[in-house]
């Protein structure tokens, strides 16, 4: 009768091997099968069973051939995802796979392993749209992992900042820090486009809507770190003020890096003039390509360590120190070049001017070291505060040494002759710096948190802001010999998470201090990545958040099995369409 069986064993369906039509399960009776044969294939009534068996075998062979042709192996799928991850991590356009990566792999494999291996490479899907889908798949998987960990953590801290991309759109970037298993980790949270204005109300609405969408509550947020802009810190309509209406216990932190950058802008008038003159000389050379080439040639002939000056950028934290250091290192080459040019920079021949410049260079070198030490991951309020307090104490020490005519902490200045005017200028600069440090870091008193750093060597009677149950927990921990041994094995974060099993009250108190961010370094790093991802050639990029999530997230745990269902469904659809076309012909 020309029928075979398809479907599962519990619900088999009759399938006509001639036209490919599938009948219902109720049609699995001889009379209905005969009616189909006599009605639609009357010219095959006299055919015997061997004819229909040949048709069935032909159908099966066609399906196997088509499957072999279009099937993408698990290794090819995994290679496609790995390449997509590399493209996202390196912030390159998706077309680079077809234009560079695939041709390069083909040539390399062909040379090492032959033509057969090259044909296998061609099976890896690396088209522009495919890479976009891969990145989108990985982004969804990473986001789901982060959200699951956030919901299990019950405590998290946020790092929030906004900036404008190349297309003029305001982007809100958020990173999160949370307790996961036995440690504190930080990861990318979201990147949202602000619709119109960038007021604190707009920032709050976008972030509040996102938290509501992913089923997270402000009650579990214990800290927020921002750059201290008015839209963030406004007392009435600022972002922080609106957040505190949701949760008044949230700890707000003004980024330590931004505050240190504000301190670095404070200079006495003489040193500010020196800086302005240095920038003027640099702009004179760098703004003219001919002069830049001539200066480069002079540096090369004089065997200088560097051949170019660095342009000044006011918004970059380390720019002042970098340009001054490079300028000072090329002082001899500059004197030769500017003498040949017969410019009006007469101050370069003044020895006192160079002495002031050497001190300014030494000073900014110390400021840059302080700033750089607070950059990076895993910084918290305790570690950053230690570095700030150490620098303030160094300023007092330096003043004492200067009064003793000892300039060893300023090595460049110590090599030159410093008279009383220079020494008084140095003391005045350090005093101003100390005043500004106390102004921008007024409330740093971390002695009350010494019990967090070492709960075994602290006097409980001297502690403040602890409840009775927390003090009792601390007494128990202090006299627990097993925990003393564990304290030496674990990091500070892991120790207090480990303690939470037996002493949850004091553990939560400690994690409330360790969890909040002290800087917005991750957001600044994220905006640098955004500038590379969404550049002039990709300013209309739509999947910005997905690209940022794959680029800025750590420890990806995606698996090829996570995405196999989508790939197989597309494959089966393609096979079915081709089988129908073959049946038609």
Is residue 507 within 8 Å of 492, Cβ to Cβ? no
Task: Name the nearest CA neighbour of 477 among 463, 457, 447, 493.
Answer: 457
Binned at pLDDT 50, 70 and 90, residue 244 comes out as: very high
Per-residue model confidence (pLDDT) at position 381: 92
Per-residue model confidence (pLDDT) at position 508: 92
The 10s digit of each residue's pLDDT in 85-107 is 999 999 999 999 999 999 999 99
Q: What is the largest CA-CA distance in the chain?
A: 121
220 pLDDT more than 80: yes
**Could you please report the per-residue DSSP string of 382-440?**
HHHHHHHHHHHHHHHHHHHHHHTT--TTSHHHHTS---HHHHHHHHHHHHHHHHHHHHH
Per-residue model confidence (pLDDT) at position 528: 93
* Model pTM score: 0.81
Q: Which residue has the higher pLDDT, 148 or 61?
A: 148
And the tokens for 303? 């065997």
The 10s digit of each residue's pLDDT in 10-25 is 778 887 878 877 777 7
Q: How far apart are CA 506 and CA 494, in angstroms?
A: 14
Per-residue model confidence (pLDDT) at position 565: 40
Q: How far apart are CA 160 and CA 577, in angstroms?
A: 49
Is residue 134 within 8 Å of 163, Cβ to Cβ? no
416 pLDDT more than 90: no
Q: Taking residues 244-263, what's their average pLDDT? A: 92
The 10s digit of each residue's pLDDT in 109-130 is 999 998 888 888 888 899 999 9
Q: Between 420-440 and 351-373, two packed helices, what is the crossing angle to 10 degrees?
A: 30
Residue 374 DSSP code = T
The 10s digit of each residue's pLDDT in 267-293 is 999 999 999 999 999 999 998 899 999
And the tokens for 556? 């990806």
Binned at pLDDT 50, 70 and 90, residue 65 comes out as: low
Is residue 51 within 8 Å of 61, Cβ to Cβ? no
Q: How many CB atoms lie within 10 A of CB 60?
A: 12
Per-residue model confidence (pLDDT) at position 13: 82
Is residue 22 within 8 Å of 15, Cβ to Cβ? yes
Local structure of 189: helix, strand or coil: strand
Task: Name the nearest CA neighbour of 124 among 81, 63, 68, 64.
Answer: 81
Is residue 495 within 8 Å of 486, Cβ to Cβ? yes
Q: Taking residues 530-544, what's their average pLDDT? A: 88
The 10s digit of each residue's pLDDT in 341-388 is 777 788 888 889 999 999 999 999 999 999 999 998 889 999 999 999
Per-residue model confidence (pLDDT) at position 68: 55
66 pLDDT more than 80: no
Q: Taking residues 297-311, what's their average pLDDT? A: 90
Q: Which residue has the higher pLDDT, 30 or 327?
A: 327
Q: Taking residues 21-42, what's their average pLDDT? A: 78
Per-residue model confidence (pLDDT) at position 36: 82
181 pLDDT more than 80: yes
Is residue 92 within 8 Å of 571, Cβ to Cβ? no
Binned at pLDDT 50, 70 and 90, residue 64 comes out as: low
Per-residue model confidence (pLDDT) at position 116: 87
Per-residue model confidence (pLDDT) at position 545: 92
Question: How do 183-194 and 221-226 pair as beta strands?
Answer: unpaired
Find which of 2-6, 172-176, 402-406, 487-491 is predicted with most confidence, using mean pLDDT: 172-176
Share of the chain above pLDDT 70, in %: 92
Per-residue model confidence (pLDDT) at position 7: 64
Per-residue model confidence (pLDDT) at position 569: 37
235 pLDDT more than 50: yes
Is residue 89 within 8 Å of 551, Cβ to Cβ? yes
């Amino acid at each position: 009768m020309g029928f075979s069986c398809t479907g599962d064993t519990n619900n088999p369906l009759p399938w006509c091997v001639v036209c490919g039509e599938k009948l219902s399960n109720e049609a699995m009776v001889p009379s209905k099968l005969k009616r189909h044969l006599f009605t639609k294939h009357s010219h095959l009534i006299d055919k015997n069973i061997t004819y229909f068996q040949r048709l069935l075998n032909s159908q099966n062979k066609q399906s196997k051939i088509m499957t072999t042709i279009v099937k993408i192996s698990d290794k090819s799928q995994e290679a496609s995802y790995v390449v997509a991850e590399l493209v996202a991590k390196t912030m390159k356009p998706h077309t680079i796979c077809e234009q560079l990566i695939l041709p390069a792999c083909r040539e390399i494999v062909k040379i090492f392993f032959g033509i057969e291996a090259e044909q296998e490479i061609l099976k890896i899907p690396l088209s522009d749209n495919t890479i976009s889908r891969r990145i989108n798949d990985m982004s969804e998987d990473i986001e789901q992992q982060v959200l699951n960990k956030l919901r299990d953590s019950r405590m998290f801290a946020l790092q929030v900042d906004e900036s404008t991309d190349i297309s003029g759109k305001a982007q809100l970037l958020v990173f999160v820090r949370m307790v996961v298993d036995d440690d504190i980790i930080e990861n990318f949270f979201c990147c949202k486009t602000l619709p119109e204005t960038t007021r604190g109300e707009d920032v709050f609405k976008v972030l509040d809507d996102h938290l509501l969408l992913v089923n997270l509550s402000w009650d579990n947020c214990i800290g927020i770190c921002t750059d201290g802009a008015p839209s963030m810190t406004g007392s009435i309509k600022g972002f922080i003020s609106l957040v505190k209406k949701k949760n008044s216990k949230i700890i707000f932190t003004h980024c330590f890096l931004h505050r240190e950058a504000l301190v670095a802008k404070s200079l006495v008038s003489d040193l500010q003039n020196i800086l302005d003159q240095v920038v003027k000389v640099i702009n004179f050379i760098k703004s003219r390509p001919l002069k830049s080439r001539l200066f480069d040639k002079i540096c090369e002939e004089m065997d200088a360590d560097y051949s170019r000056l660095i342009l000044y950028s006011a918004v970059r934290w380390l720019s002042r120190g970098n340009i001054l250091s490079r300028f000072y290192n090329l002082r001899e080459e500059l004197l030769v070049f500017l003498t040949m040019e017969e410019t009006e920079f007469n101050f370069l021949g003044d020895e006192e001017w160079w002495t002031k410049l050497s001190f300014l260079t030494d000073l900014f070198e110390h400021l840059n070291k302080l700033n750089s030490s607070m950059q990076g991951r895993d910084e918290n309020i305790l570690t950053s505060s230690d570095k700030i307090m150490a620098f303030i104490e160094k300023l007092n020490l330096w003043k004492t040494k200067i009064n003793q005519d000892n300039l060893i902490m300023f090595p460049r200045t110590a090599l030159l002759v410093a008279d009383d005017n220079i020494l008084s200028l140095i003391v005045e600069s350090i005093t101003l710096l100390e005043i500004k440090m106390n102004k921008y870091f007024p409330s740093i008193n971390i002695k009350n948190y010494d019990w967090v750093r070492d709960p075994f060597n602290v006097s409980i009677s001297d502690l403040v802001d602890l409840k009775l149950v927390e003090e009792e927990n601390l007494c128990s921990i202090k006299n627990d010999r097993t925990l003393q041994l564990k304290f030496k094995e674990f990091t500070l974060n892991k120790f207090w998470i480990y303690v939470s099993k037996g002493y949850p009250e004091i553990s939560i108190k400690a994690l409330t201090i360790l969890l909040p961010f002290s800087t917005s370094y991750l957001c600044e790093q994220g905006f640098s990545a955004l500038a590379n991802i969404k550049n002039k050639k990709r300013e209309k990029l739509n999947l910005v958040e997905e690209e940022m999530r794959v680029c800025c997230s750590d420890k990806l745990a995606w698996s090829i099995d996570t995405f196999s269902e989508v790939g197989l469904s597309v494959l089966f659809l393609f096979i079915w369409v081709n089988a129908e076309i073959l049946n038609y012909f």
